[in-house]
Amino acid sequence: MSRVALHKRAVVAFLLASLCCFSVFAQERKSNSSEQATSSEQQEADPLKRPLSEKQKKANAKALRQELGKTYKKWLDEDVRWIITDEERQAFKQLSNDEERDQFIEAFWARRDPTPDTPENEYKEEHYRRIAYANEHFAAGIPGWKTDRGRMYIMYGPPDEIESHPSGGTYDRPMEEGGGTTSTYPFENWRYRYLEGVGQEVIIEFVDTCMCGDYHMTIDRSEKDALLYTPNAGLTLYEQMGMASKANRFNGGLERLGSGPFNQDNASKQFDRLEQFAKLNKPPAIKFKDLEEVVTHKISVNLMPFDVVTDFVKVTSDTVLVPITVQIKNKDITFVNKDGVSRGTVNIFGRITTIAGRVAQTFEDTVQVDVPPELLPKTTENASVYWKSVPLRTPGRYMLELVVKDVNGDRVGTWRRSVPVPEYNEDRLATSSLVLADAMHPVATRNVGTGNFVIGDTYVRPRVPPADGKPVSFKRSQNLNLWMQVYHLSVDEKTHKPSATVEYDVVNTTTNKPVIHTIESTDQMGNVGDQLTLKKTLSAANLQPGVYKLQIKVNDNISKQTVDPSATFTVE
């Protein structure tokens, strides 16, 4: 083939290749254009996929903050408007972020929870029930919670008695209001036998002077009198007899009742009525607020000595029960004679917070000790014990703060320690705290899991070690009881039972020799699962005075794991 022919064939091949490339490029370009058009259409169809400008992002963030702000504002101005204290309201307004506000709200309800060791907060549930009731029954052109009757109901609950006059009309005044007959606007009298912080036999009067259903609270009992400003109408008993003039009712004073035979001392009671009115308008008092303030402001005083021990009992894989035992010696409590006995009263406030400062639990209670006066000198070396069990999430490190106040002696003591709650991994043999108790016995079926010192089906009252670091002590006349649970024993696949041994040793720390040694196995313990509860009682009379160490060694024969907790005690 000639050189010219070869050249022509090369040119033709080049042209064909170029055409193929152009065709492919055109198809790709068309495909890309189609995809871009589709993407553009999708963005037009779905606004969430549109790219946001910085301005739009800031506007959205601002709108979100405003929406969240409305939630907190509603909580402050509506939900708790009638029960939050001025100090709490001021503190809430000073918070700088939502996390702090959430913590505050949680602590707010926790402080008022009558049973902080249960998942329910009865105070909070009752509060919102009252709001719902007030909205349903007391609305009058405004929501029921905003009305005076709604406010009193939310703050103090249902009254013990209600005297209702929904239509007003003819009214025979009681003699303490001047006697005689008049006509009234609709009104109601609410009677509370007792209101904490207010007093006994509290009567609250509400009057509907607009005849529109909006009853407002009043301290002037004459305000319900529809004929008050009508001359010579609705006269009191003295006014009918010519012994007083109706015009004299308007010469000043808190009430315009008019004089009568049994209300001559009304003027002297005006300050009492004003004081009651002022108390009714304050939020209900928080129990032991003085103790809570001690914790809040970290005031450290040690005038009132007491001892504390905390234990740990596994409940679920992520929850641990933390029994807190507080021991106060009777000699540190001030006793006063009351009702024929010598009575000591101690208030206790406790708070548990996370390391981040989030309130996990709060509790407050009163311990009262009554002793016959003739036996008081003999009981000064005895101690009073308080017990509180709180569930905490695991694992975690918490801060426990306690304040104890001797009410009669007006002394206060504080205690603050870190509480590391252990983690109970299911693949690792573990135990609860080893509790040394001076009293231990089964409880009735109806009391299982409830009451002071009750863990499961057993009453266990721990001995509390003194604050100086010395071990717990038992007198030779006492029994020494031990209580402990073992968790995550391995179970044989064939027998579906664990196989473990438990060794008990009581060692004299002076001679370092065991004085008691026993071994038992799960085969001897009956129906045992992956959890085992150890309960033993030893008479301290069998031990000579001295310091001893109790050692318990649990060997899991299946998993080949071992745990060996120990505790030191003294026999006197």
| 235, part of any domain | yes
Q: Are 456 and 483 in contact (CB under 8 A)?
A: no
Q: Is the pLDDT of residue 121 over 80?
A: yes
Residue 21 lies in a domain: no
Does 337 fall in a domain?
yes
Tell me, what DSSP letter sits at residue 350? E
Residue 4 domain flag = no
Give one DSSP letter per residue of 241-296, joined into a string.
TTSS-GGGGGSSSS------TT-TTTGGGHHHHHHHHHHHTSPPPPTTHHHHHHHH
Cβ contact 486:431 at 8 Å: yes
Tell me what pLDDT residue 418 has. Answer: 83
The residue among 357 and 372 whose pLDDT is bigger is 372
Q: If you ran DSSP here, which 8-state letter would residue 138 be given?
A: S
The angle, 0 to 180 degrees and rounded to 10, between the axes of the packed helices 122-137 and 148-156 is 160
The CATH number of residue 563's host domain is 2.60.40.3880
Residues 441 and 365 reside in one and the same domain: no
Q: What integer is the mean pLDDT of 227-240? A: 90
> Same structural domain for residues 334 and 402?
yes
Residues 165 and 215: beta-carbon distance below 8 Å: no
567 shares a domain with 539: yes
What is the pLDDT averaged over residues 513-541? 89
Say whether both 554 and 457 belong to one domain: yes
* Residue 447 and residue 419 share a domain: no
What number is the average pLDDT over the span 144-160? 94
Among 83-92, 145-154, 542-551, 561-570, whose mean pLDDT is lowest? Answer: 83-92
For 439-479, write each residue's pLDDT tens digit: 999 988 877 777 889 988 899 999 999 888 899 999 999 99
Q: Which of 127-141, 206-220, 286-300, 493-507 has the lowest mean pLDDT?
A: 286-300
Q: Regarding beta strands 532-539 and 479-487, do their DSSP bridges make them parallel or antiparallel, or are they unpaired?
A: antiparallel
Are residues 436 and 296 both part of a single domain? no
Pairwise pLDDT comparison (179 vs 100), residue with the higher score? 179
Q: Compute the CA torsion angle 113, 114, 115, 121 (nearest 10 deg).
A: -40
Q: What is the mean pLDDT of residues 384-397?
A: 86
* Residue 152: inside a domain: no
pLDDT at position 276 is: 87
Is residue 397 very low, low, confident or very high in pLDDT (cuts 50, 70, 90)? confident
Q: Which residues contact 513 (CB under 8 A, 6 or more apart)?
A: 507
Together in a domain, 415 and 431: no
C-beta of residue 206 within 8 angstroms of C-beta of residue 218: yes
67 vs 224: which has the higher pLDDT: 224
The pLDDT of 56-76, averaged and rounded, is 66
* Host domain of residue 106: 60-112
Based on the domain organization, do 335 and 411 belong to the same domain?
Answer: yes
Q: Please answer whether residues 562 and 429 qualify as being in contact, where contact means their C-beta atoms are separated by less than 8 angstroms.
A: yes
Predicted local confidence at residue 103, as pLDDT: 81
Distance, CA of 105 to CA of 367 (rounded, Å): 29
Q: Based on the domain organization, do 269 and 376 belong to the same domain? A: no
What is the per-residue pLDDT across 295-341, written as a single tens digit (0 to 9) for each?
A: 565 444 447 889 999 999 998 878 899 999 999 999 999 999 988 89
pLDDT at 66: 56
User: What is the pLDDT, as a whole number, of residue 59?
Assistant: 63
The count of domains in the chain is 4
Compute the distance between CA of residue 219 and CA of residue 424 in angstroms, rounded to an integer: 61
Q: pLDDT value at position 356?
A: 60
Both 67 and 85 in one domain: the answer is yes
Worst-scoring range by mean pLDDT, 199-213, 367-381, 530-544?
Answer: 367-381
Q: How much is the pLDDT for 191?
A: 95
Residue 124 resides in a domain: no
Kindly report which listed range (18-27, 99-108, 405-414, 555-564) carries the lowest average pLDDT score: 18-27
Q: What percentage of the chain exceeds 90 in pLDDT?
A: 41
- pTM of the shown model: 0.51
- End-of-domain residue from the set 371, 404, 423: 423
Domain end, chosen from 423, 454, 487, is at 423
pLDDT-based confidence at 262, cuts 50/70/90? low
Residue where a domain terminates, one of 261, 280, 299: 280
* Sign of the dihedral through C-alpha 445, 449, 452, 455: positive
- Three-class SS state of 9: helix
As a whole number, mean pLDDT of residues 143-151 equals: 94
Q: Which residue has the tokens 């490190």?
A: 397
Percent of the chain residues topping a pLDDT of 70 = 82
Higher pLDDT, 568 or 251: 568
Asked whether residue 28 carries a pLDDT value surpassing 50, the answer given is no
Rounded CA separation 340/404 (Å): 26
Q: Within this chain, do residues 348 and 429 fall inside the same structural domain, yes or no?
A: no
Is 343 found in the same domain as 253? no
Range of 59-63, 142-146, 335-339 with top mean pLDDT: 142-146
Say whether pLDDT at 169 is over 60. yes
| Contact of 314 with 430, CB cutoff 8 Å | yes
550-555: average pLDDT: 96
Q: Is residue 211 part of a domain?
A: yes
Q: What is the pLDDT of residue 267?
A: 58
pLDDT at 112 over 90: no
Q: Read out DSSP for 530-558? A: S-EEEEEEEEGGGS-SEEEEEEEEEEETT
> Is the predicted pLDDT of residue 49 greater than 50, yes or no?
no
What residues contact residue 281 under an 8 Å CB cut-off, 6+ apart?
Answer: none
- Whether 142 maps to a domain, the answer reads no
